[in-house]
Structure 1
Amino acid sequence: MISINDLTFLLGSRALYDEANWHIKPGERIGLIGANGTGKSTLLKIIVGEYAPSSGSVSMSKDLKIGYLNQDLLSYDSHHSILHVAMEAFERQNQLHDEIEELLKKIETDYSEDVLNKLSDKQQEFEALDGYNIEYRANEILAGLGFSTQDQLRPLNTFSGGWRMRVMLAKILLQTPDILLLDEPTNHMDLPSIKWLETYLLGFEGAIVIVSHDRYFLDKVVNKIVESRKGKLTPYAGNYTFYLEEKALRGEIQKGEFKNQQAKIKQEERLIERFRAKASKAKMAQSRMKALDKLERVEDVDDDNPTVNFQFKFSKPSGRHVIRIEGATKSYPNVEILENAEGVIEKGDKIALIGANGKGKSTLLRIIAGTEKFAGKCETGHNVTTTFFAQHQLESLHLDNTILEELQAFAPKHTDTELRGILGCFLFTGDDVFKKIRVLSGGEKSRVALAKSLTTDSNFLILDEPTNHLDIQSVNILIQALQQYEGTFIAVSHDRYFLDNVANKIWFIEEKNIKEYPGTYAEYEEWNSKRPQPTATPIPVKQEKEVKPKAEEKPLGTNPQQQLKKLNDQLRKTEEEIAAFEQSVKTIEAKLADEEVYSNSGKLAETNKEYTTAKFLLDTAQNTWEALASQIMELESK
């Protein structure tokens, strides 16, 4: 499919790739990984032809369709609706639609056979290209990525960068390419959208190459890992977890080979030193020296997993209650976030605040930090000292400072040795600490900001997306740091591996209240998968009417027989609803096949909206039925 042969790419005097080789085969799902700065994004740009290799070649078939998602697409702007932008993927269908519209206008006055034949030919081609379903397909993918039906009609330029990236992803997916090249596709996505994307990619029939720092995402989606390291591309069969095991095994073998070779080299050097001065042995010594010079050296294994080896200290511990929220109410125009919400953060809590975008996670963090106005109370407990880390704080870094100077100014009580030790844990070693902030990448600035946050004298940390821009190595360091931290924290992140390794409580906003699950993220996921869900698809709360499962409408009582009776009643009602919704879907599908509808763009758009709504209601009812059936089976087995 794509063949990379002896690829060398120079960035200034540094070789990002040095005679690297890689062959991408049809149907492979590949995770391209490596530390920041090893050239992963550059390699994707070389494949699509944006960059030319310094030497070597990239070859592929001429008719290969490549779908390429990269962070540069954030700059794409349009006053058209996001539905219109997504449907730009259907270039030929859109062209045919316009031509059919023109012919339909022409036929009002010109009934000639030539016009009728042209119209018939265009309509046949349009139908063969599934043109009558393109709006439905666009609706479906945009809904999966978190856009409500109402949002799909809003102009692209009214959305933030993260949401624009989702629209561009939808457009690429609708083009049905032979291979997808995805550069950090989960950046700026919430957890429901990431899960939807995982499901979609698992059903994608073409090849996929994904650059990602999300370990759970890679484990779910890929069946092969290619590591970019020291200018080479090394393949590993399997997902990310297999890669870790295989790499550790290869490392042990390499370490043994290195030790054996070093012992052999030392032995040879002693023999050469011993006999080189003797005339009778000089020729033999020279021969051994030449053989030693030609020996292909085995490299020692580098430690890719540095450990955090310093203690996080604060001068005074907090009281038992760190934060107490009472009667918190907060809303924005057309969106209600909280209503009389309550919550308590106690000393030692490590809380992961999760949920879909638009549910108010960042708003709640700002309320806790005291930077957001709201109705109600948010009281800070005795001796609580707070540090709030948010992505906008990267902008507050002093660009003319070196990394070390930035930490010296922020944490004057720490010695230079302590600060350099902290920076070493965040992968700034040796002369790296003297780099100016202005020359750092986004990921490096995030590491500096995190190092600052963790050197504070704070016993309560508020962390808003701390894993953004961090590679897997840096995420591991942050995990270790927070595992050692003896204070209290609350964190928002879409990195499930991070959440599962640092949190002992889960908070989520539901029905305008703060709800808590007392356990790890993995335990929460298992519990959440078994309970009736408030909504069937990850659509933001901006939708005009939220459909709630019937299972939560009334308390079920305490008597098992009463519970079973009520659950069975609800199940029967849900089955009746499903039958009605199925009939509604069939009726609308028949309308979509009606020439009077599909030949009229206005009627077609209106009918497509009806279909999307009916399908959504059917999916919701089916999810409710499954949840109720699961509860009934559980009660009957007791």
Structure 2
Amino acid sequence: MSVILSHVSMTYGDDHLYAGVTFELHRADRVALLGRNGSGKTTLLRLIGGALTPTAGHITTAGRLAYLPQFTDLPEVPLLDAVRPPALDEALQQLRLAESGLTDPTHEVLNVYGAAEETYRLLGGYDFDQRAAEVLHELELNPGWNAERLSGGQRRRTLLARLLLTPADTYLLDEPTNHLDWPSLEWLEGWVQASPAAFLIVSHDRAFLDATVTRCAELERGELREYPGNYTEAIAVKRNLREARERQYQAHQRKAQSLEQERVNVQQRAASTDRYNHKRKKPGNKKFAKMRAQDVARTLARRAKALEQRLDRMEAPKRLLTEPNLVRVALSGGADGPHDVLGLSNVALAVGDRPLLQGLTAHVRRGEKVAVVGPNGSGKSTLLRALLGQLEPSGGELRRAELAVQWSGQHGEELAAFSTQREALLAADDCLTPQRMYEVLAPLGLPRNLEHRVQDLSGGQRTRLSLARLSLTAAQLLILDEPTNHLDHAAIESLQAVLQSYSGTLIFASHDRQLVADVATRYWWLEEGELRDVTDLGLETRGNGGTP
């Protein structure tokens, strides 16, 4: 058994993150850790990794443990040295120190050298350079690069490479798919599937979780619930469980209401019977009639009391709270407008003096949904900038019809011109009243203060503010660059439903393979400076040796 959590609780000041969490991770288990942004997923990984101490409860780990954090620094060394595991680096230093003593090979010196060499060998030191070169190649990294000068995406992939080269019995992966393109994602999936180690994975990539995990644990409202299967299977189980619990709860409510109504009726009858009126009785033994009425009243009262006790003993089934849907926007764009939306004829694009794309020829018609896909650095964002008119082609002709366009950048770049949420919303619709602005912000989980500064919003909040602006614009063309950035699973699925129902024209770039598969009707594949316009991405990937 690799990891055991027993009644773990975590509190930050007055904020109770979770309480009584119990969880086990066994050898060869592959588990996804799910939850909304801020639910404590990263905190739980850090607790297991030993970086934090729980407020209550116990965490037990066995064997070697490796943790991939979302953010960390890298030393200013060649990349090959940066990805060497700390234990192996220490073993290498000890081996070199032992080698220096071989000039005087006493029995003690030879024993020290033998022990150091054995440790280095067991940690995989002799074939490390070869293994490291293979991993770096798959992650599109050069062993000779200086780790201190890497881009954000390259640094992330370097951290992942170091983790993959660290022998461990348990791997804790916090967003391992960030900044990976499709080929790297599929390679990482294969690596996880082939490893005998245990994995606890936090990832917003639904396709990655479907391919790698066999169990899901979800942090929700301070509790940890487990569901069998990969991500899609686990969500289906959760949905069915929620629906079954809701049916049980509603059946209980109907039964309780029926018993309560019966109790009230019996109680009223008892009270009425007990009010004996001798004037309404026929001549005869009125004393006997009164006694009989009192007996009936007492019987009815006992029955009412029994019904009340039965109601008290009825235990309502535990009702799973309705899951809030943070992204509730309905895009108002329609199919109105010109039939021919975009046309590219032998277009060339360059960044500075460096040619990036050439010979781009494609056509987009009204209502089509085009996904721009390809390896990192292939020019996806550059192409979207050109379609928006932010970058002039260095050659060829790019035609765009006169229509309303709305766009969203990877990091909310379109929001840079606005100081407050009010300004950002009014720029999308200058007729908005304050009440309407509140109605737009509230369902998206954004601050209610209209004067809240845009620069103070988190990455996820900036993405949702961009979505709020989209919902206010009757755009006929949407151009989105990585629209799922910083969104959790529930928000991504809501966004996906919105884009599927959108009746206008959509062009978007995304690393979310599930979003691409479920929303796009065609694909522009960018690679080696060229664009291939395809309608079946599966055929395209199979044509490239099975790797997109």
Distance 1:320 1:253 in 2: 48
1:357 to 376, 381, 395: 376
Q: Structure 1 residues 392, 127: CA separation in 2 closer, same or farther (over 3 Å shift)?
A: closer
Assess if the C-alpha contact under 8 Å between 1:2 and 1:58 holds in 2: no
Assess if the C-alpha contact under 8 Å between 1:394 and 1:445 holds in 2: no
1:568 equivalent in structure 2: none
Supply the AA of the counterpart residue of 1:157. E
2:132 to 131, 138, 144: 138
Q: Structure 1 residues 142, 283: CA separation in 2 closer, same or farther (over 3 Å shift)?
A: farther
2:281 equivalent in structure 1: none
Equivalent pairs counted in the alignment come to 517
SS at the partner of 1:201?
Answer: helix
Over aligned residues, Cα RMSD in angstroms?
Answer: 3.4
TM-score of the superposition, structure 1-length normalised? 0.72
Assess if the C-alpha contact under 8 Å between 2:379 and 2:526 holds in 1: yes
Deviations 1:332-360 (A, max 9, x none): 67x75223433333333311111111212
TM-score of the superposition, structure 2-length normalised? 0.83
Assess if the C-alpha contact under 8 Å between 2:481 and 2:508 holds in 1: yes
Supply the AA of the counterpart residue of 2:429. A
Distance 2:250 2:400 in 1: 56
Distance 1:229 1:103 in 2: 53
1:176 equivalent in structure 2: 167
Task: Please state which structure has a larger fraction of its residues in helix.
Answer: 1
Distance 1:394 1:5 in 2: 44
Question: How far did 1:481 drift?
Answer: 2.0
1:317 to 337, 347, 350: 337
2:513 equivalent in structure 1: 496
1:412 equivalent in structure 2: 430
Q: Counterparts of 1:499-578 in structure 2 under 5 Å?
A: 499-517=516-534, 519=535, 523-525=536-538, 527-533=539-545
Q: Structure 1 residues 301, 161: CA separation in 2 closer, same or farther (over 3 Å shift)?
A: same
2:52 equivalent in structure 1: 51
Query: Does residue 23 of the first structure (1) align with residue 24 of the second (2)?
Result: yes
Assess if the C-alpha contact under 8 Å between 1:144 and 1:537 holds in 2: no
Distance 1:365 1:12 in 2: 45
SS at the partner of 1:270?
Answer: helix
Deviations 1:193-242 (A, max 9, x none): 11111111001111111112221111100000112222221111111221
Q: Structure 1 residues 442, 256: CA separation in 2 closer, same or farther (over 3 Å shift)?
A: same
2:493 equivalent in structure 1: 476
2:121 equivalent in structure 1: 127
Q: Counterparts of 1:192-231 in structure 2 under 5 Å?
A: 192-231=183-222
SS at the partner of 1:175?
Answer: coil
Supply the AA of the counterpart residue of 1:490. I
Question: How far did 1:456 drift?
Answer: 2.4
Question: How far did 1:370 drift?
Answer: 2.5
Query: Does residue 191 of the first structure (1) align with residue 182 of the second (2)?
Result: yes
Supply the AA of the counterpart residue of 2:11. L
Question: How far did 1:271 drift?
Answer: 4.3
SS at the partner of 1:132?
Answer: coil
1:607 equivalent in structure 2: none
Q: Structure 1 residues 262, 100: CA separation in 2 closer, same or farther (over 3 Å shift)?
A: closer
1:443 to 453, 460, 470: 460
Distance 2:200 2:329 in 1: 35
Assess if the C-alpha contact under 8 Å between 2:442 and 2:448 holds in 1: no
1:84 equivalent in structure 2: 81
Listed as ranges, the gaps of 5+ residues in structure 1 are 539-638
Distance 1:291 1:433 in 2: 49
2:361 to 342, 351, 372: 342
1:485 equivalent in structure 2: 502
Deviations 1:454-512 (A, max 9, x none): 42243222211111111122112222222232322221111011111211111112342
Supply the AA of the counterpart residue of 1:513. E
Assess if the C-alpha contact under 8 Å between 1:318 and 1:382 holds in 2: yes
Question: How far did 1:289 drift?
Answer: 4.9
Q: Counterparts of 1:613-632 in structure 2 under 5 Å?
A: none
Deviates more, 1:303-312 or 1:360-369: 303-312
SS at the partner of 2:5?
Answer: strand
SS at the partner of 1:466?
Answer: coil
1:375 equivalent in structure 2: 394
Supply the AA of the counterpart residue of 2:160. L
Assess if the C-alpha contact under 8 Å between 1:183 and 1:210 holds in 2: yes
Supply the AA of the counterpart residue of 1:72. F
Distance 1:387 1:179 in 2: 45
Q: Structure 1 residues 268, 3: CA separation in 2 closer, same or farther (over 3 Å shift)?
A: farther
1:269 equivalent in structure 2: 260
SS at the partner of 2:406?
Answer: strand
2:475 equivalent in structure 1: 458
Distance 2:482 2:194 in 1: 29
Supply the AA of the counterpart residue of 1:469. H
Question: How far did 1:31 drift?
Answer: 1.0
Question: How far did 1:123 drift?
Answer: 3.8
The structure that has the greater radius of gyration is 2
Deviates more, 1:4-13 or 1:20-29: 4-13
SS at the partner of 1:447?
Answer: helix
Deviations 1:356-380 (A, max 9, x none): 1121211222222222355114533
Supply the AA of the counterpart residue of 2:468. A
1:385 to 404, 429, 446: 404
Distance 1:395 1:375 in 2: 24
1:42 equivalent in structure 2: 43
Deviates more, 1:251-260 or 1:302-311: 302-311
Question: How far did 1:39 drift?
Answer: 2.2
